[in-house]
Amino acid sequence: MLELALKGSKRYYGWMGFLLAMVGVGFLIYLKQLDFGLGITGMSRDVSWGFYIAQFTFLVGVAAGGVMVVLPYYLHDYKAYGRITILGEFLAIAALVMCLTFIIVDLGQPRRIFNVWLYPTLHSVLFWDTIVLNGYLFLNIIVGWNVLEAERNGVHYPAWVKPFIYLSIPWAISIHTVTAYLYAGLPGRGFWMTAIMAPRFLASAFAAGPALLILLCLIIRRTTSFDPGREQIQTLAKTVAYAIVLNVFFFLCEIFTVFYSQIPEHMDHITYLFVGLHGHGTYVPWMWTAMGLMIIGIILLVNPATRKNEGVLAVACIAVFAGTWIDKGLGMISGGFVPNPLHEVNEYIPTLPELFISLSIWCLGFFVLTGLFKIAVSVKEEVRE
């Protein structure tokens, strides 16, 4: 089936070529980072995780979001989703490729990455994160590929695939829970050490992932002869609506606990993000924008009139995706590290090389995504002829 990704229109080649070029330039800048060290980024002794890990955290959520199509179809027989489960699985693969690449790029000694498996450390959440992420990647490749191939050949997928499908559902929940546990178990980081970290992660994941999927479905309908389906997109939109409401609600719960209890240590991080602390407030406009975007998303998605209008729906999905990206990407990481354990404020601002490497990894992800979607859509076009 891979050969389906090798043939396409001029626009397809142009897009893939552009993405590859971006990846190439990004790779050259990464070589500079390998040579110089992570000092080429804006990370510091205080904010020791930055843009790369922020992107990784956000994208794990997007990958987990794929389960929102798989679960209703395979567990609850919601037949409509049968058309697009493959899109959810392939989106997960592309997102996971990006996650793993962001991790590699963030390591200080990437040549030693296999130490994580040569010296497995069972009490480390990061060790388990590598297991669940790679496992989920493996699951999606196996399930997606075999189900799609069966569809192409007009037969039911082989019986042995079923247990993998069932496994992928709780596994999807686990990848983002484990990632949340990276943050939620650190005694020194009050901003992250909250039980609602994992639920919040999952809520924003189930908002961002399906939101992106909706946008991709709308694009597929525009650029190919395969229509993912109006009903499918509407159900996805309802999923995003509930998920983003929950995400904002969970955040408001955090606000209440922190500001009603009035514990200074806990208040400081949110104050830093939304108002500024000791004269430092780089993230303030970003955080309010994120809140605004998420509220706009909620209003447009909850209201059936605006949700059913696919043009407005696209705007709502962009708002949700951008809002959750800022909230989980920039806000969560910086907010956790600032102020530092000694209550000093040293801000983090990513550098241009850091941003470009990150952009090129997104291009890599979209390269994989476009190729996989090309295969899926070509098969569906074939089958429906």
Q: Which residues form the interface with another protein (CB under 8 A)?
A: 36-39, 42-46, 48-49, 106-110, 112-113, 115-116, 118-119, 121, 123-127, 130, 182-183, 185-189, 264-265, 336-337, 340-344, 346
C-beta closer to another protein: residue 121 or 225: 121
| Contact by Cβ (8 Å): 177, 201 | yes
Pick the closer one to another protein by CB: 43 or 248: 43
154, β-bridge pairs: none
**CB of 52: closest distance to another protein in angstroms?**
11
Beta carbon of residue 176, minimum distance to another protein (angstroms, whole number): 18
Quickly tell me which residue has 């297991």 as its tokens. Answer: 131
- Shortest Å, Cβ 328 to another protein: 16
Handedness of CA 180, 181, 182, 187 (dihedral sign): positive
Q: What is the distance between the alpha carbons of residues 358 and 356, in angstroms, rounded to a whole number? A: 5
Nearer to another protein, 337 or 367 (CB): 337
Contact predicate 61/176, CB 8 Å: yes
- Name the minimum Å distance from CB 349 to another protein: 10
Closest CA to 204 of 57, 86, 306: 57
Least separation in angstroms between CB 280 and another protein: 13
Residue 285's closest CA among 295, 276, 297? 276
User: Quick one: 264 or 285, whose CB is closer to another protein?
Assistant: 264
First to last CA, the chain: 17
Return the number of the residue (163 or 264) whose C-beta is nearest another protein.
Answer: 264
The pair of three-digit structure tokens given for residue 249, joined into one six-digit string: 């609600």
C-beta closer to another protein: residue 179 or 370: 179
Tokens (6 digits) for 376: 């899926």
CB atoms under 10 Å from CB of 99, counted, come to 28
Amino acid in the structure at residue 223: T
Determine the residue type at 275: V
Please state the closest distance from residue 342 (CB atom) to another protein, in A: 4
